[in-house]
Structure 1
Amino acid sequence: MSEAKSVVEVTAHDVQGPGVVACPNPNMPLWSNHPRVFVDITHGDGGRCPYCGTHYRLKAGETLSHAH
């Protein structure tokens, strides 16, 4: 029914604040922009944007030193 949403693997350097990343991210085309939201990637296998469905997760081997 719906196509697979994209998966974005981020580094610890990409993480802002307490374990969140901003969506839309800088690599997304301008036409697909939506209001900026912060997606928590500290639980399980990352997090998903409520607007576009993009799944964000930490790259293998990366660790967050300040995640709660």
Structure 2
Amino acid sequence: MSQSAAAAAPAAVEVTAQDLKGHGVVFCPNPKMKLWSGHPRVFIDVASTGEGKCPYCGTVYKLAPGTVLHGH
């Protein structure tokens, strides 16, 4: 992978059960993102497959290894 391709790759965010809202979703942009990089808030299901990708910015949200989801 070239250096420019690595720089252009979307960020990956590891989430735990405590980060999930409602029925196993996270929202993007997340509170740690800079305000200037904002886009409309979208809810991304990570409980079903263990990860999800934001359709706007490409950020990938992944469940942390060993995360146990109750009631999912």
Q: TM-score, normalised by structure 2?
A: 0.84
Distance in structure 1 (CA, Å) of the matches to 2:64 and 2:9 = 19
User: Which runs of 5 or more residues in structure 2 are unaligned?
Assistant: none
Corresponding residue of 1:5: 10
Aligned-pair Cα RMSD in Å: 1.5
1:57 corresponds to which residue?
Answer: 62
Task: Say how many residue pairs are matched.
Answer: 67
Q: Which structure is larger by alpha-carbon Rg, 1 or 2?
A: 2
Matches of 1:12 and 1:45, distance apart in 2: 11
**1:44 aligned partner:** 49
> Is the helix fraction higher in 1 or 2?
2
SS of residue paired to 2:18:
helix
TM-score, normalised by the number of residues in structure 1: 0.89
- Aligned amino acid, residue 19 of structure 2: D
Any unmatched runs of 5+ in structure 1?
none
